[in-house]
Each structure stands twice: as structure tokens, then as C-alpha cells.
Amino acid sequence: MTTRLRRAAACLAVPAVLLVGACGTSTTPTASSSGTSGTASVQASGGATATSADPTSGGATAGAHTDKASFVSAMKAGMADVSSAHVSMQLEGQGQKVSMSGVTKVDSTDPAMQLTMTMAGMDIDLIVLDGKVYVKGIPGAAAEGKWAQFDKDSVVAKSMLESASGADPTRMFDDFEKALTDVKYDGPETVDGEQLQKYSVKLDTTKVATGDATSLPKSVDYDVWLDAKDRMRKVTFDLAGVKADMRMDKYGEPLDIKAPPASQVVKGQG
């Protein structure tokens, strides 16, 4: 497996408390939800609607959660029936920039996602579907313009499938439940014209860190914005000079993730 392929696999793990430790500050991903045609596909719909918080409502519309238990339980309840989400992330610092955006099925037991990343001079497309991983844009994985397919038992697929399940926003709740040490309700704040509820939280990274845990400080401060249904909509942090901005929206919106056409797929190398 090429170094670039390993970096791409590592950086796809979305839970932010692990991101810098897993990827290092030299890489950052970008994803988009542009469609591709193929025979295999997954569709997700239903659950919580994509309706946002009411920007005209004042105060703590979702209730002010001032302790770890109420904060985490509220987010879990808000996501209980959500089947899908749009996710995006921007990382910038130490002369590097990474961006990612795309769509994910909210189901860690049967992950599916479609992302486009920009990192380390590469524009990478990724599809995870039916236990297979399709990657385009990483030198050495496949001929230019072709999709490299990796079966679920390959090293690349295992890494990226784990990352795909990490793109499920509910996985961050597990990190919060293990590692949250402080919660402060900051009040309502308008973000992109929408009123959300802002919280400042502190996490103990020693309780959740994987990968190169030595690169992480013992604690990290996050700003978290919830909507009126207690769904995470924005998360930011600044760690070792790297600024991160994650957005989650369009919860419950129908998805149609498809595998690339067979004529454009080759067996991946690595």
C-alpha cells in the first residue's frame, strides 16, 4: 500500500478528537457528494427530517444542557432516528490545508458513504458500499481516471471501512461519553443565518486516542453547535496550530450511493 493511500485511509476517520493524531498535520481530506452511476447502490431515507432549527425562536430552544450526562443523552436522542447525513470538514495549519465533504449512511454496522477529498496535492474520490471500497485519484492505486476497488478483507478496505463507520456522527457521541470532562452552555448563536445553540466542551484525549496518541495533548477544547433537535451541526477546535471546522447537516435526507460503472473499475493495488 502506498504512503499516500495509507494517509488517505487514516485521514478519513472523522471523529475530530482522533483526527490530528491519526493523520498528522501534513494531510487533510475533502469530500463531495457528486453522483456516479453503477449497478450496486444504497438508498437511505426517513427518520428525522432535514428541517433546521427555527431561526426565529429565541433562547435555548433545545434546552440548555449543562452537564455531561444531559449533553450526551440529548445528542443521542436527537440522532436516534436519523438515517443519513451530509458531512464536511476543513483542516488548516502549519502550511497545510485539507478539506472533505460528502454523504454518509448513519449505520456503523453497514457503512456506506461517498466522499471527495482534497489533500496533499490530490483530489480523491471515495465510495464505500456493500463491503467494498472504491478509490480514484491516488497515484499508484489505479491507472489515471480509473477507480481502484479493494475487497473488504484487504488492508486498504479494512482501514477505510473503519473510517467510514467513523464518519457516522453518532460515533463522536461515544468519544464524548468516554472523555468529556467539562460542558459549558454559551447560549444561542447565529451560524450561516440559522440560530443554533453553542456549547464549549473539554475532552480528555487519553481516554479515546488511537493511532499516534503521543502527538495529542492531554485535553482538547471544542466548540459545539446543536440545532433545535439537539443534532450536532458544527464542531470546531484548534489543536497544535491546526484549526478544524466540521459541519453536519441535511440529516435524514434520502441518499443514492452507487458503485462506479464496471468498465471504470480495476483491482486496487495495495
What residues contact residue 41 under an 8 Å CB cut-off, 6+ apart? Answer: 129, 256, 257, 258, 259
Looking at residue 7, its pLDDT comes to 55
pTM, full prediction: 0.75
Pick the residue with more confidence: 144 or 213?
144
Write out pLDDT tens, residues 161-220. Answer: 665 555 566 777 777 888 889 999 999 999 989 999 999 999 888 887 655 555 678 888
What is the greatest pairwise CA distance in the chain? 55
Residue 18's pLDDT band, with cuts at 50, 70 and 90, is very low
pLDDT mean over 237-253: 87
Residue 15's pLDDT band, with cuts at 50, 70 and 90, is very low
pLDDT mean over 48-63: 38
How many Cβ atoms are within 10 Å of 40's Cβ, its own excluded?
15
Q: Please, what is the average pLDDT of the chain?
A: 74
The domain segmentation of the chain, as residue ranges, is 3-36+62-250
What residues contact residue 69 under an 8 Å CB cut-off, 6+ apart? Answer: none
CATH code for the structural domain at 3-36+62-250: 2.50.20.20
Pick the residue with more confidence: 3 or 36?
3
% the chain with pLDDT above 90: 23
Pick the residue with more confidence: 68 or 215?
68
